Amino acid sequence: AQTVTQSQPEMSVQEAETVTLSCTYDTSESDYYLFWYKQPPSRQMILVIRQEAYKQQNATENRFSVNFQKAAKSFSLKISDSQLGDAAMYFCAYRSYYSNAGNMLTFGGGTRLMVKP
């Protein structure tokens, strides 16, 4: 079974600065997807970024980018030019590539990001 670990329960960043959230995972599969989701106080889980394991290029979405290290099973999220609206819980999630696993996401325990004005 796959596991996802987020070792930073809380992180803090100054507005306009850059912060990196860490995620490691354990799997015996070679093909899979990794995600970062954001959960603000409104509770709705919002997709931030997605990475396919077979792609060597790191995914980017505007101010958000990842550092995907497949051999190290590491998947960190970098937020540049942090904004007050970035304050939320961030969850790293794993999904198997194979359809017989359905569409099940395995989540880490989350990192609470605080943004200081």
Binding site residues, another protein, CB under 8 A: 4, 35, 37, 42-47, 50, 91, 93, 95, 99, 101-110
Write the Ramachandran bin of 78: left for phi over 0, alpha for psi from -120 to 50, otherwise beta. Answer: beta
**Minimum distance from residue 102 beta carbon to another protein (Å):** 3
CA dist 70 and 54 (Å) reads: 9
Angle at 114 between CA 59 and CA 25, to 5 degrees: 45
**Minimum distance from residue 6 beta carbon to another protein (Å):** 8
CA dihedral 40, 42, 48, 50 (to 10 degrees): 120
Nearer to another protein, 6 or 82 (CB): 6
**Minimum distance from residue 10 beta carbon to another protein (Å):** 12
Nearer to another protein, 51 or 82 (CB): 51
